[in-house]
Amino acid sequence: MKIGWLEVTVASIFIVIFLTLIFSRGSNWLEPKFWRNAAIFSGVIMTIFLIFLTFDTHRYINMGGINVPEPDVINNKILYVYDDAKGYYVPKIEGQEGFFGKIWSKEEASALIDKGKKTIQSRNCMDCHTLLGNGAYYAPDLTKAWLDPKWEQLIMPVVGKSMKEEAMATWLQNPDKYPTWTRKMPNLRLTPEEAKAVVAYLKYMSAIYTNGFPDHFGVAAK
Amino acid sequence: MDKLYESQKLAIWYFAVAIVLFGAQLLFGLVGAIQFVNPDFLFGVLDFSIGRMLHINALVVWLLLGFIGAIYWFLPKEFGREVVGIKLGKLAFFILVAAVTVVVLVYIFIQIGPGDWKTLWFITEGREYIEAPRWADIGIVAVALVVFYNVVATALAAKKITGITGVLIVDLGALFGLYLAGMFYTPNISVDQFYWWWVVHLWVEATWEVLIGVLMAWSLMYLLGSSRKLVETWLYVEVFLVFGTGILGLGHHYFWIGTPEYWLGIGGFFSALEPIPLVAMIIHAIYDAGMHKLRTANRPALFWVFAQAFGNFLGAGVWGFMQTLPQINLYSHGTQMAASHGHLAFFGAYVAANLAVLYIIVGELRMKGITPQKGVKYVLDSKAWRYAYVGMIISIIGMTAALLVAGFEQTLQERAIGGSTWQAYIDAQEHPWFKEAMLWRLGFGVLFFVSYIILIYDLLTIKPKPVKEEEIETELGAVPEKA
Ligand code: HEM
Ligand code: HEM
Ligand SMILES: [Fe+2]
């Protein structure tokens, strides 16, 4: 079943008003009782709707759900392309290209993604960067960082690696050594395994369907 | 004048720690503001991420401490009796202070750890606003349960429930309960952020908003002698509007994190209505003040109540509304626009509320030791509070305006034109509009800190002054109309 926003909106408001009026029969709208009922029903009904929508949303946001890929998506080639029907950019997951030169099994990929997420949390990445647009504003947004042209254009030559994954991992372990401008990223003492896992996480995150955010990533305005 | 309840003494401790943390919050904010101007400042010693984490965690913790203090202050007066289980309440306070101290020391000196469970349990969870490690989360929940028990047990022992305390109990249950939604780990960042917003949004835009509705209701009764029936009816209206718009308004954070498209409509619609309750709160404050012709015995507290009403409406209502429609948010999301809004909203809604209650407390405390004479009334007043008040308001507006310029420039240059890449980000940060804005923000930040120092001076020195009887209607520390 597909849920429509307008139906949810109208239904929730209607039910709150309806129940308030039913339960306040006989009392005037200026009385405390009327507004107490309104307060109770708006709190309860909106919470019920939120819980219902939460269950439905999980169909989209679980790994392997409608919008969020399985960890082994890191094996695939990922693109961000314009969708004419939607009017915005969507991730496009193509055939296998491997990751760090190999194909990762489901279990291996899950373990790597888990490590990547824990590493990202343990280094407080979100307190400088935004991920999916949330976090701090001292450093670039990482939602589609895997697809950033800078890796090919600048980082690969500078760190001297011909494989993008390796260049990213090298840079992430020594960001203070290869500054890109006046504001340097501090050295967060990532181990080689942690750096690999973080790169995997960035690749995985770039495959999440985000309703078009960030708009035309990597493509400057015409 | 009556003696203080033990609960009120506890309230004073809570506020004392809160105000110190407020100062710490500002210092770490200044570090971040300097780093925007000169990135080498404390690089490798106290990196931006660490200072920022301390800035916003100190903010959240001190505001919560203030709220709890306010509850412990008003509760015994509301019920006319000592709070039940106050010994336990004091124990919880010391545990909380000890835990906060340890967390802060670990943040400053250990900062980060390897990517494993140990780090999440003992150093940081790395999730903005709720970075506190898991052990501390559990401690916070335990303390919250004690506070909740104190409130409920006191109501039961007093065998009565007022409209205000009824709302308070339901709201506290929801507020503390929501914290649990932020206490789990998942490798799935979409699920992670989905529930992370249950804490962040459903706190500041639902449960905290209702909580300050409660605190402002009490404050208006104490400051202006407003009638209980009026105050309580308004409180119900506010709860109706806040929950009616704010709960599904949560959807404005579900536009771009992997969540289904219907959230664009639901989140956009309900969050666009979120300013309505904030307008209701302004009307309430102005109406009550007008009814009583501003004849309060506690001027700083009443003025902070006004700052609260307007600041909440402007900071949360107007600045939030600006970026809440998905068509706008697609480009403004994750820029300094959010920081602009975050500063004015937190200040207007919650800092101002805490300061209003704090002045109510100070007013009553300083009346002790004064033997009232016939025909003389006392007003809490000084010059210093005016400087602190005006200084803080000017500097928060200044910072908000600077960040608005920076955020709008980022929205256009980095997102709309540049396509949000690494280089687009750098270009937008190097733009003269952005760099100038960061200088202005730093300047106003310093002014804010100076105002804070004046505030501290005033809180320590302000005294009730005798005035002629007919000028005021209320008394410092008098108990308003009973339920
Ligand atoms: C006192 C109440 C409020 C406070 C304290 C507050 C605070 C904040 C803060 C701190 C953020 C940034 C979160 C982050 O770090 O990512 C934020 C984001 C946001 N707020 Fe509020 N807010 C309040 C009320 C509102 C209201 C009433 C609205 C809508 C009318 C609103 C709309 C938004 C939007 C759309 C964002 C997301 C910005 C983005 O996409 O990056 N807020 N709020
Ligand atoms: C001395 C005054 C202050 C200075 C210099 C300052 C500076 C800063 C800086 C540099 C950031 C990081 C923004 C970024 O990631 O780019 C920040 C974030 C924040 N500050 Fe402040 N701040 C000050 C006062 C305050 C006050 C009084 C409040 C609350 C009432 C506050 C609430 C916040 C919040 C909620 C955030 C997170 C915003 C977001 O994520 O969108 N700050 N501040
Ligand atoms: Fe929100």
Assess whether pLDDT exceeds 90 at residue B381.
yes
B115–A122 CB contact, under 8 Å: yes
Assess whether pLDDT exceeds 90 at residue B263.
yes
Interacting residues of B482 by C-beta distance below 8 A, sequence separation 6+: B80, B228
CB of A126 closer than 8 Å to CB of B125: no
Exposure letters B10-41 (e unless 16+ CB within 10 A, then b): bbbbbbebbbebbebbbebbbbbbbbbeebeb
Q: Is A189 left (phi over 0), alpha (psi -120 to 50) or beta?
A: left
CB of A214 closer than 8 Å to CB of B428: no
E strand or H helix at A49: helix A32-61
Start-to-end C-alpha separation, chain A: 38
Alpha helices in A92-163 (DSSP H): 106-122, 149-150, 156-159
Top mutation candidate among A125, A128, A131, A134 for ligand 1, by most atoms within 8 Å of CB:
A134
Q: Which of B190, B236, B417 sits opposite A61 (nearest CB)?
A: B190
Q: Could you tell me which residues are beta bridge partners of residue A130?
A: A135, A141
pLDDT, average across residues A48-58 = 98
Task: Kindly report the CATH number that applies to the domain delimited by A71-206.
Answer: 1.10.760.10
Identify whether A214 is preceded by a cis peptide bond (ω within 30 of 0).
yes
Q: Which of B47, B128, B258 sits opposite A209 (nearest CB)?
A: B258
Lowest-pLDDT range of A8-17, A72-81, B45-54, B284-293: B284-293
Distance (Å) from CA B137 to ligand 3 centroid: 22
Chain A residues touching B200 at Cβ < 8 A = none
Q: pLDDT class for A222, splitting at 50, 70, 90?
A: low
Structural domain contains residue B351: no
Which of A 158-217 lie inside 8 A of B, CB atoms?
176, 180-184, 186-189, 191, 194, 197, 205, 208-217
CB of A5 closer than 8 Å to CB of B251: no
Q: Which of A3, A50, A122 sits opposite B262 (nearest CB)?
A: A3
Q: Enter the ipTM.
A: 0.97
Chain B residues touching A214 at Cβ < 8 A = 415, 419-420
Tokens of A14: 């209607």
Instruction: Say how far apart CA B434 and CA B403 lie, in whole Å.
Output: 9
Q: Give chain A's mean pLDDT.
A: 96
A5–B243 CB contact, under 8 Å: no
Instruction: Say how far apart CA B132 and CA B457 lie, in whole Å.
Output: 31
Tokens of B162: 């007022």
What pLDDT shows up at residue B81?
95
> Nearest bound ligand to CA B334?
1
Assess whether pLDDT exceeds 80 at residue A27.
yes
Tokens of A210: 């985000």
Lowest-pLDDT range of A2-16, A55-69, B166-180, B285-299: B285-299
**Where in the sequence is the domain holding B101, given as residue range(s)?**
1-160
Residue of B110, B191, B422 to mutate for A, most A C-beta atoms under 10 A: B422
Distance (Å) from CA B202 to ligand 3 centroid: 7
What pLDDT shows up at residue B2?
67
Assess whether pLDDT exceeds 70 at residue B343.
yes
Distance (Å) from CA B165 to ligand 3 centroid: 26
Q: Residue B339 CA: which ligand 2 atom is closest?
A: 41
Q: Under DSSP, is residue A20 helix (H, G, I), strand (E, B) or coil?
A: helix
What pLDDT shows up at residue B205?
97
Q: Which of B284, B300, B201 is nearest to B243 (CA)?
A: B201
Q: pLDDT class for A98, splitting at 50, 70, 90?
A: very high
Structural domain contains residue B175: no
| Cα–Cα distance list, B87 to A39, B5, B92, B180 (Å) | 34, 12, 9, 26
pLDDT in tens, A101-110: 999 999 999 9
Q: Which chain A residue's Cα is nearest to B33?
A: A138
Lowest-pLDDT range of B28-37, B188-197, B285-294: B285-294
Q: Which of B254, B284, B282 is nearest to B268 (CA)?
A: B254
Look up the pTM and report it: 0.97
pLDDT in tens, A153-206: 999 999 999 999 999 999 999 999 999 999 999 999 999 999 999 999 999 999
Residue A10 φ then ψ, to 5°: -65, -45
Domain boundaries, chain A: 5-61, 71-206
What pLDDT shows up at residue B288?
87
Tokens of B291: 């009814």
Distance (Å) from CA A216 to ligand 2 centroid: 29
pLDDT, average across residues B51-77 = 97
Tokens of A34: 């009327």
The sign of the dihedral angle between the CA atoms of B32, B34, B40, B45 is negative
CB of A89 closer than 8 Å to CB of A123: no
